[in-house]
Structure 1
Amino acid sequence: MSGLHAVAGPVAVPGPASFAGAVVGRGREIELLLAGLDAGAHVVLEGPPGTGKTTLLRAIASAGDAEFVFVEGNAELTPARLIGHFDPSQVLAKGYSAETFVDGPLAEALRSGGLLYVEEVNRVPEETLNVLITVMSEGELHVPRLGRVPAAPGFRLVAAMNPFDAIGTARISAAVYDRVCRIVMGYQSAGEEDEIVARRGAEVPAAWRAQVVDLVRRTRAHDDLRVGSSVRGAIDLVRVAVSLARIRGASPTGWQTGFDAALVALSGRITVREGCGRTPESVLEELYTAVFGAKPESSGGDAPGEA
């Protein structure tokens, strides 16, 4: 229990209304995350890609005027890269001291009382996770030749992970889960995803944009797909369709232009189940036809109608 007392401290807790311009929906998740941080807890955000985990935390850090320290979790994140290191040239001149130590993201967040955000934490090597476990338990870090680096009031660790990605990942140990609160973030509603695409994609007719969102959402429920696309696929589909239409001198809502944009934007984002004997392209053609109708025979299939 020492970790909670060691890191708990005053933290600015803005109201959920503060995030209306930066985060679409997510009212419940905002409240849960704010409550966890205010209570002095460290938090794991668990959910598939494209569900707004990073966007949510950046908005909370900005609204609360807190330091935000981002760490990309991968197999190359060693303890030294996370904690920091002594500058060899400075050590030769001045020896080992606080003056010659270069803070890594963990030391930076500890000293500033900021939010340390570790993305894809289940890709982080076990020895690096052990460093985080110690910090969460003790509220401080011990660095050889440097000494103790205590957590300033407000320091919190927030980690994110995609539980459905099995490549290059490892199971998070019970020791980590025992020291964090867990918030599961699923995909948002169709209306919320449509608003996200409207904000971040190119300008297109609203009815056609809603069909694009419908297409992307169907990839998540298709029996032949193990992994579907996130809302990022819909954003890219809209952008590519607009650019492709400009190149072709056609309408972005034309059947062929939209279909080609769907292949470009979505074929790499979906994963076909092993043994089903299908390609991503064939599944996308099936879904695209279901949403936008069969390919028109006129104009080479690129009539400007909205299906």
Structure 2
Amino acid sequence: MPSPPPADLPGAGPDDDPVVTGLRVRHDAGASVREVRRRVAAHLVGRERELDLLLAAVAAGRDVVLEGPPGTSKSTLLRAITAEWGVPLVFVEGNADLTPTRLVGHHDPARVLREDYTPENFVPGPLVQAMRGGGFLYLEEFNRAPEDTLNTLLTAMAERRLAVPHVGTVEARATFRVVASMNPFDAIGTTRLSASISDRLVRLAVGYQDADAERGIVTRRTGIASPRLVADAVALTRATREREDVRQGSSVRGAIDLALVAAQLADMRDVALPDEPSLEPPRGLPEEYTATVLDALLLALSGRIAVDETVESTPEAVLREIWEDHFLLAPAAAGPG
């Protein structure tokens, strides 16, 4: 893994025209960017297009907003890229408590009483940490942060430097990037982004992957050898995203938990997991297996879905209907195998 780059890279400004290699700025480094892409892709299931676009954006010196629902590999992509490039990843969650002081940093009150304000008793916040370390600042749900906090972030993005009282000017190293994320399907408690902030970010929409990719993710993350259980977990989870009475469905994380819990329950109850092909309709499955999947479904997904406020239902009722559709109604509608 390459070591973090020095702070005095030539051509460090975001509007210069170098190519980034391992986040060292050079003009002949396209092959190394491709190598980073190859290594990162080896750890992912799918997401080739999103990986290419995100790599291209940060290598071009751009700040990025990743827009998509939870559980769509946004942070996974970013962690993999920063790990391969050997730069810090500084994480901060956007919420109403993220004031400019929390983002930038503060002076240690006890030391201020003894020493007055000095650069030495300044405790850097995540923004200053990322700027000084040449890292990526990952601001999750950044549209939930207060407007004055976003304005502070805008200054750092636009000027690549930040004036900190009693400390001086903090200069961002060449590899500093801001990568923000937001969920377009949940506007409650969010801040409307100004045009000046949007104009500083390139936008990458990250949606759910297809069923085949999600089955691959669940298999890799769980190690479960039953293709039937993996397929059922993915199908049930994906069904939560397709119902009109569900405002927010579950991500593939729900399918992972569903499969793991179901496998554990099956072992405890001495229930055999089917070994039939995963893409066959779920006909004739033992009742003890489908009942075990139902229990795991309620446990894993009832806290992950948001039922529309206009309907009189509960997460448990919705999930039971999904289970019935999958194991009872759909096989019956498909007819004999």
The TM-score with structure 1 as length reference comes to: 0.88
Alignment match, 1:56: 77
Give the whole-Å Cα distance in 1 for the aligned partners of 2:188 and 2:320. 27
> Do 1:193 and 1:231's aligned partners in 2 also have CA atoms closer than 8 Å?
yes
Alignment match, 1:291: 326
Task: Find 2:153's aligned residue among 127, 132, 139.
Answer: 132
Paired amino acid for 1:149: V
Alignment match, 1:193: 214
Task: Find 1:146's aligned residue among 148, 167, 172.
Answer: 167
Q: Does 1:94 align with 2:115?
A: yes
Task: Find 1:32's aligned residue among 42, 49, 53.
Answer: 53
Alignment match, 1:169: 190
> Do 1:98 and 1:146's aligned partners in 2 also have CA atoms closer than 8 Å?
yes
- Structure with more relative contact order (C-alpha pairs < 8 Å, separation 6 or more): 1
Paired amino acid for 1:100: N
Alignment match, 1:5: 15
Alignment match, 1:240: 261
Give the whole-Å Cα distance in 2 for the aligned partners of 1:164 and 1:66. 31
The structural deviation recorded for 1:181 is 0.4
Paired amino acid for 1:5: D
> Do 1:7 and 1:153's aligned partners in 2 also have CA atoms closer than 8 Å?
no
Alignment match, 2:282: none
The TM-score with structure 2 as length reference comes to: 0.81
Unaligned runs of 5+ in 2: 1-12, 25-32, 275-288, 330-337
Q: Is the deviation greater in 76-85 or in 272-281?
A: 272-281
Alignment match, 1:226: 247
Q: Does 1:262 align with 2:272?
A: no
The structural deviation recorded for 1:43 is 0.3
Give the whole-Å Cα distance in 1 for the aligned partners of 2:123 and 2:94. 20
Encode CA deviations 1:26-70: one digit per residue, 9 max, x unaligned: 111111111111111100000000001001100000111111111
Give the whole-Å Cα distance in 1 for the aligned partners of 2:118 and 2:299. 53
| Partner SS state of residue 5, structure 1 | coil
Give the whole-Å Cα distance in 2 for the aligned partners of 1:79 and 1:262. 41
Q: Which runs of 4+ in 1 moved over 4 A?
A: 6-10
| Partner SS state of residue 15, structure 2 | helix
Task: Find 1:277's aligned residue among 312, 325, 331.
Answer: 312
Paired amino acid for 2:192: R
Give the whole-Å Cα distance in 1 for the aligned partners of 2:124 and 2:203. 28
- With over 3 angstroms needed to count, the CA separation of the structure-2 counterparts of 1:252 and 1:270, relative to structure 1, is farther
> Do 1:51 and 1:185's aligned partners in 2 also have CA atoms closer than 8 Å?
yes
**Identity across aligned pairs (percent)?**
51
Give the whole-Å Cα distance in 2 for the aligned partners of 1:252 and 1:128. 51
> Do 2:102 and 2:125's aligned partners in 1 also have CA atoms closer than 8 Å?
yes
> Do 2:138 and 2:178's aligned partners in 1 also have CA atoms closer than 8 Å?
yes
Q: Is the deviation greater in 97-106 or in 254-263?
A: 97-106
> Do 1:201 and 1:239's aligned partners in 2 also have CA atoms closer than 8 Å?
yes
| Partner SS state of residue 181, structure 2 | strand
Give the whole-Å Cα distance in 2 for the aligned partners of 1:91 and 1:227. 47
The structural deviation recorded for 1:104 is 1.0
Paired amino acid for 2:15: H
Alignment match, 2:135: 114
> Do 2:226 and 2:273's aligned partners in 1 also have CA atoms closer than 8 Å?
no
Paired amino acid for 1:128: T
Encode CA deviations 1:95-118: one digit per residue, 9 max, x unaligned: 322221111111111111111111
The structural deviation recorded for 1:202 is 5.3
The structural deviation recorded for 1:204 is 4.3
Give the whole-Å Cα distance in 1 for the aligned partners of 2:196 and 2:184. 17
Paired amino acid for 1:99: E
- With over 3 angstroms needed to count, the CA separation of the structure-2 counterparts of 1:128 and 1:252, relative to structure 1, is farther
> Do 1:32 and 1:183's aligned partners in 2 also have CA atoms closer than 8 Å?
yes
> Do 1:8 and 1:41's aligned partners in 2 also have CA atoms closer than 8 Å?
no
Unaligned runs of 5+ in 1: 295-307
Give the whole-Å Cα distance in 2 for the aligned partners of 1:7 and 1:116. 22
Give the whole-Å Cα distance in 1 for the aligned partners of 2:270 and 2:183. 40
Give the whole-Å Cα distance in 2 for the aligned partners of 1:196 and 1:43. 25
Give the total of aligned pairs. Answer: 292
Encode CA deviations 1:147-203: one digit per residue, 9 max, x unaligned: 100111111000011111123222222221111000000001111111111122352
The structural deviation recorded for 1:6 is 8.2
> Do 1:7 and 1:154's aligned partners in 2 also have CA atoms closer than 8 Å?
no
